[in-house]
Amino acid sequence: MKISAALCVGYLPFALAGAAVFLLPLFAVAWACGLEGWTLAAIASVVIPWILLCVLGAAIGAGLDVIWRVPTNGYGLCSGSSGGKPDEAGVLPLTDWLHELIQEAAGRVAGGKPVTFGDLWNNRGDVTAERDIELVLMTSNATRGISQRFPFLEGSWGQLFFNEAEFGNLFPKPIVDWMKKRAQKPRHEDVVVPAGYRALPRPGDLPILVGARMSLSFPFRSARAALCRRCHQ
């Protein structure tokens, strides 16, 4: 009952429309036949069909949201980024805030060259040389059903690619632009890369923000309260 009540309250216009489908024809018949008083009260007291149609109407409204609005909201997952735009309180989302923090710690501006794993290694691109700072993060590859370290050691799993549009929703523009600029070429000529996809940069060219973001678990957004906004975990 609580779920049904919450559904009707959340989708009140649909619930009222569902109730009207049942009540209006009855009242119209009653009025046309000249019935009044206790007869109208008796009609109004037929609550079970009325309640059922209220719930049905609200369920239809929820179903329409699931079909049309939830996908545009990233299926209720937090993106963590708003393109560098703060909220009403002047606070940046977590990923944008992390970007500014990392850049500031490195003495760089937010729109400048992002801090990469290669910057931490400081070994001039020689992956076999000693590294000043070794940063390793863990993430989950939902497609392959495995855990992976970041920066990726692709090995026998093959080359990894990212989607420009999806990364544009997850990271600030300077990060996405850097990833596109430093994207590697497909290793095999017979690999068909879909439009909008690019190979990941070399490990040393990967921004550490991308690793930090992929290692984070972001909570679900309220599907109803925040329908109006995927994260690769």
* Residue labelled with tokens 């920066």: 151
pTM over 0.85: no
pLDDT per residue over 27-63, tens digit each? 666 666 665 544 555 555 555 565 665 666 667 777 7
pLDDT per residue over 194-215, tens digit each? 899 999 999 899 999 999 988 8
